[in-house]
Structures are given as C-alpha cells and as structure tokens.
Amino acid sequence: RRICKSCGKIYNLKSLPPEKEGVCDQCGGELYQRPDDEPEVIRNRLKEYKKRTQPIIDFYREKGIVEDIVFKEERPIEDAMKDIHAAIGKIN
C-alpha cells in the first residue's frame, strides 16, 4: 500500500497501482509507505487480533451469526464486494 503525501489517495501496488511508480495519479504528489505497513508491524497486529478478537468471532460463529467470506488475491475486488453485500443482506 502507498499513500499520497499531498492528497491522501491510497494505492494498492498489486490491485490498484499508480500509473507512474511513486507518483500520485490524482495530484502528482509523492507516494510513501506508512511505518505501520511494515511486515513485522503487521505480524504483531495479526498476533494481537488472534489473541483478542478471534475468540469473539468464534463465539458468534458458533451461534450462526458470523458469515465467512474468503478473499483471494487474484479475485476481482468487484466479486468480493458482491459477496460482502450478500452477507450483509442476510443480516437485514
């Protein structure tokens, strides 16, 4: 992930890269990587997630309230959004 220092536009280097590397398509500003996007920081966040949040999700999954949606990198974002909307529709 890269973020524009000027306008804040967010880019995903795999699914939504800028046209020119390091330069924002929208304003021409410089793109940077946030310090919390580093692999070690992400690993620590995931470890905390598993410790604190996963037990809550497991509790609601056992009650049939949680809907699992599997995301695969090669899958178009539009397809994933359809699954998300369908899962939300089941709640309402």
Q: Could you tell me the two tokens for 13? A: 């280097």
**Model pTM score:** 0.54
Closest CA to 4 of 12, 19, 16, 23: 23
Q: What pLDDT does residue 68 have?
A: 79
Q: Domain containing 19: what range?
A: 1-35
- Distance, CA of 50 to CA of 17 (rounded, Å): 30
Does residue 9 belong to any structural domain of this protein?
yes
Does residue 81 belong to any structural domain of this protein?
no
Per-residue pLDDT tens over the stretch 8-27: 999 999 889 999 999 999 99
Does residue 84 belong to any structural domain of this protein?
no
Does residue 77 belong to any structural domain of this protein?
no
> What is the number of structural domains in the chain?
1
Does residue 21 belong to any structural domain of this protein?
yes
Does residue 7 belong to any structural domain of this protein?
yes
Per-residue pLDDT tens over the stretch 32-79: 999 888 889 999 999 999 999 999 999 998 988 887 777 777 778 888
